[in-house]
Amino acid sequence: MNTLYCFCFAGILLVTTTALAAGPPGTIPVGADGKPLNLDFETGDLRDWTVSGDAFKNNPIQGDVVSKRRKDMKSGHQGEYWVGTFDGGGSDPVQGTLTSAPFKVTQPWASFLVAAGPYEATRVELVSKADNKVLFKTSGYDGAAFAKVNNASEELAPVVADLSAHQGKEIFIRIIDQHGGHWGHINFDNFRLHAEKPVFAQANTAARKPVDEGPPPPPVDNVKFAGLSGEEAAKEMTLPPGFKATLFAGEPDVVQPIAFCIDDRGRLWVVEGMDYPKKRPEGEGRDRILVFEDTDNDGKFNKRSVFMDKQNLISGIEVGFGGVWIGAAPHLQFVPVTDWDNPKPAGETKILLDGWDYKRDTHETLNTFKWGPDGWLYGCHGVFCPSLVGKPGAPESERQWVDAAVWRYHPTKHQFEVFAEGTSNPWGIDFDERGQCFIEACVVPHFWHVIQGARYTRQGGEHYTVGTEETARNERHRDAKSRKSNFPYVYEAIKTHGDHVHYAGTKGPHAGNNRSDSAGGGHAHAGLLVYQGDSFPAEYRGKIFMNNIHGQRINMDIPERKGSGFVGRHGPDFANFNDKWSQIIDLRTGPDGSVFLIDWYDKNQCHHNDEKGHDRSNGRIFKIAYGSPKWTPTDVAKSSDGELLKLIQSKNEILSRHARRNLQERYSVNLGTQEGETTSRGRQSVGRRQFITRLLTVVARTGLEVNAEPRVLWALHAIGGLSGQVVMDNLKNANEYVRGWTIQLACEDKKPSDALLKEFARLAKEDPSPVVRLYLASACQRLSIEQRLPILENLLAHAEDADDHNLPLMYWYATEAVAAQGAAKAVPLLAKCKIPKVREFITKRMTAASRQASVQ
């Protein structure tokens, strides 16, 4: 007889079958209110259940979706709805837990339907409410092996448990998916209680042995504290020698800080996320934006004001160009400010974009805004928060699908783009002194070097089209229900750039929660900072800090240059908060080189949709300093042009960023456009030519620090000074990142000159730097087929790039549009290609194009 792989305890009898047949109907347990609980999901939602992790995000599932994706299998569910972590979660790698409301055992027998992998990490548990003791647990079967027996590897099968010894007690159901590999998912449905032992028909049974899961997980981490006051939390942090933490602000002065930024005066603009995780009805929002200032530089605020209140589900904030940029799904919006001494809204809120999702996983919506080196506003967006973004009123054809992405928005051109697609739930982004973008992610590996036009390994779901051209030519792949513009021709995505993960064990990321002290704390991260201040010891410059939620610490990754990109090495943790409730959401460098951190501070560590599941009374902001850094409070916005020129080259990159942005505000050629009222608070472009001349003089000056050159380049671009001969000269610069960035900036508007295209083709053939070739591959995606062909011919001839982490796939992403045209365009390119992976993909894409043509 084939029993499902199971774990039995004294007094509990398990009986299983491999095919669902009619059995006694049984009764549904009732909750505390006397009403039947939603244990068969026929309400069409997850009421009466608590979700943690990502595996149950899109549950329950309606109908037999199994048979739609696999002709040899079916779901075997009861009624209309059921739950499953492959079809509902998006893939095997996703993990999480679904826990029912408690109920009293009123009858001696129970039954439910289950199908799962043969692992203890994919299981159903019946648990005593009184002592949290597991009374019964069962797992499933290996579908690949089981399919050989009865052709029903995904089919839900009945399980019967004897609960006679527990009648009168309260229990709850826990459905667990902690496995990320083969058959790492679980299906469940239709829990019932029975007065008598239910009997189900049995068929096609066979023996099944448990799968060896490897060594047991590490022991539970020993964390000293939980629920400290703000002052105590600062005192109990473990930091490297010479560092000190102070409580900059704490409850009740700030609660639930979910996003923040720092303005030109060093003031902190902090969002209180009181509405998370659900958007409230219009006009009933409770979120606030607070402004904190430390006028005497003692590490604690002494001035606090409310900029806006009654806001709704804010997740991102940044200041610049005459106002405040706010992410509050479904909107990206702008609030003008004129009096920066006493900042208040100076006009109506302007909706710049809409279509951001606010109904699903709101811990993934638009977040962690940051001004990029190129003058665009950058942000992150997660995988299970499907959005269709565009200007208000824009038709679908003018909108961009977004899920799992780094996006950007230009503050004066008012253009929106997906910069790169993939990963999972990034909530943290920053740029190093070379302008290289890095993000962290959750569940999937954490370390990612973000390249314009790249496609990255996704936690779940399909890759989608980016840009109107790619979307238009792949319209046939758009999902009819969700309207997602699927893109099946990625073929292979770029994998993590890290050489390690921060979770322990062999059973997946979630299984390492609170057991990963030695590895770095756990899989969940929030906030990312590339340290480029001037007050920490030199050894920290360029290191990447990111908070580890389950590990209550700041991990430090060391980016090491390799080929066209980087490898993230595991450095020692920078800080340990020694407090289970610690939840740093974001971190930023202040003008004195110290680091500010906002702490959500909550006993609950995981996202769920229960609005009452968070402690709304907590929240704090910390400041970590080395020694006693000196800083004279100043307003960068009031600096002269000459002072801004000096600040551009400051060793404190944060001051350089503020200086470059202020120059962009003063002299941008895009000021005065139709929407220009949202873009400037300074004087207009009077004397702009003279200023560009002065800036060029700085560029030409001998002895300029090598990493200051890209900063000057970015400033030139921001004010419209990067054109003509300046571009050509920079393409010959000795600094490979200056050459690379010149390529990206020259193609920003997708209108490079013929002379520039010719120079790109030469660089593709002759430039020795893989970094330059990487930028050329990105730029090709912004060019027409005819424009990119000469460049691609030379790029694909570099056989030495075949083993680079990024280049083969970036070459393919640029080549796909050519191969989609068919043999006439693709075969000549194939003949010159010396990179095996790209040759394979060109052939595969030509075949697909040929089949499509024959169908039409």
pLDDT for 484-540, tens place per residue? 999 999 999 999 999 999 999 877 787 788 889 999 999 999 999 999 999 999 999
pLDDT of residue 514: 87
Structural tokens at position 284? 């009933």
pLDDT beyond 60 at 17:
no
* Residues 322, 323, 327: CA angle, nearest 5 degrees: 145
CA 763 to each of CA 694, 768, 770: distance values in angstroms, whole numbers, following the listed order: 29, 9, 11
Q: Virtual CA dihedral for 793, 798, 803, 809, nearest 10 degrees? A: -20
Tell me which of 587 and 631 has the higher pLDDT.
Answer: 587
Report the chain's C-alpha Rg in angstroms. Answer: 28
pLDDT beyond 70 at 440:
yes
- Mean residue pLDDT across the chain: 88
- CB atoms near residue 376 (< 10 Å): 22
Tell me which fold the domain 6-194 belongs to. Jelly Rolls (2.60.120)
pLDDT band at 703 (very low <50, low <70, confident <90, very high): very low
pLDDT of residue 214: 59
pLDDT of residue 608: 73
Least confident residue range of 370-374, 613-617, 620-624, 677-681 = 677-681
pLDDT of residue 670: 54
With a pLDDT cut of 70, the percent of the chain lying above it is 88
- 508 close to 184: Cβ distance less than 8 angstroms: yes
Q: Virtual CA dihedral for 192, 193, 194, 200, nearest 10 degrees? A: 30
Average pLDDT over residues 686-705: 60
pLDDT beyond 60 at 673:
no
pLDDT beyond 50 at 762:
yes
pLDDT of residue 681: 41
Structural tokens at position 328? 């509050």
pLDDT beyond 80 at 88:
no
pLDDT of residue 507: 72
Structural tokens at position 88? 């509902």
With a pLDDT cut of 90, the percent of the chain lying above it is 71
pLDDT of residue 684: 45
pLDDT digits (tens, 9 = 90+) for 719-735: 888 888 889 989 999 99
pLDDT beyond 50 at 590:
yes
pLDDT beyond 80 at 118:
no
Q: Is the dihedral of CA 67, 484, 82, 50 positive or negative?
A: positive
For 50, residues 6+ apart whose C-beta sits below 8 A from its C-beta are: 98, 99, 608, 610, 613
Buried/exposed 65-88: b ≥16 CB within 10 Å, e otherwise:
bbeeeeeebbbbbbeebbbbbbbb
Q: Facing residues of 225 across strands?
A: 579
pLDDT of residue 398: 96
pLDDT of residue 23: 61
pLDDT beyond 70 at 346:
yes
pLDDT band at 389 (very low <50, low <70, confident <90, very high): very high
The domain spans of the chain are: 6-194, 231-626
pLDDT beyond 50 at 753:
yes
Average pLDDT over residues 429-450: 96
pLDDT band at 697 (very low <50, low <70, confident <90, very high): low
Average pLDDT over residues 41-51: 93
pLDDT beyond 70 at 92:
no
Spatial distance between the Cα atoms of 722 and 713, rounded to a whole number of angstroms? 8
Structural tokens at position 63? 């109908």
pLDDT of residue 284: 95
Spatial distance between the Cα atoms of 296 and 645, rounded to a whole number of angstroms? 27
Domains 6-194 and 231-626 share a fold: no
Least confident residue range of 211-220, 521-530, 547-556, 799-808 = 211-220
pLDDT beyond 80 at 198:
yes
Strand 455-458 to 416-423 pairing: parallel
Helix (H) / strand (E) element for 262: namely strand 257-262
Average pLDDT over residues 289-295: 96
Structural tokens at position 255? 């609660």
Average pLDDT over residues 34-54: 93
DSSP, res 498: B
* Residues 610, 616, 621: CA angle, nearest 5 degrees: 125
Spatial distance between the Cα atoms of 773 and 833, rounded to a whole number of angstroms? 15
Least confident residue range of 83-87, 442-446, 538-542 = 83-87
Average pLDDT over residues 207-218: 54
Q: Virtual CA dihedral for 122, 128, 132, 134, nearest 10 degrees? A: -40
Structural tokens at position 754? 């013929």
Q: Select, from the ranges 4-18, 211-225, 384-398, 711-725, the one with the highest average predicted confidence (pLDDT).
A: 384-398
Least confident residue range of 92-96, 107-111, 422-426 = 92-96
- 278 close to 609: Cβ distance less than 8 angstroms: yes
CATH superfamily assigned to domain 231-626: TolB, C-terminal domain (2.120.10.30)
CA 399 to each of CA 395, 467, 472, 480: distance values in angstroms, whole numbers, following the listed order: 7, 9, 11, 16
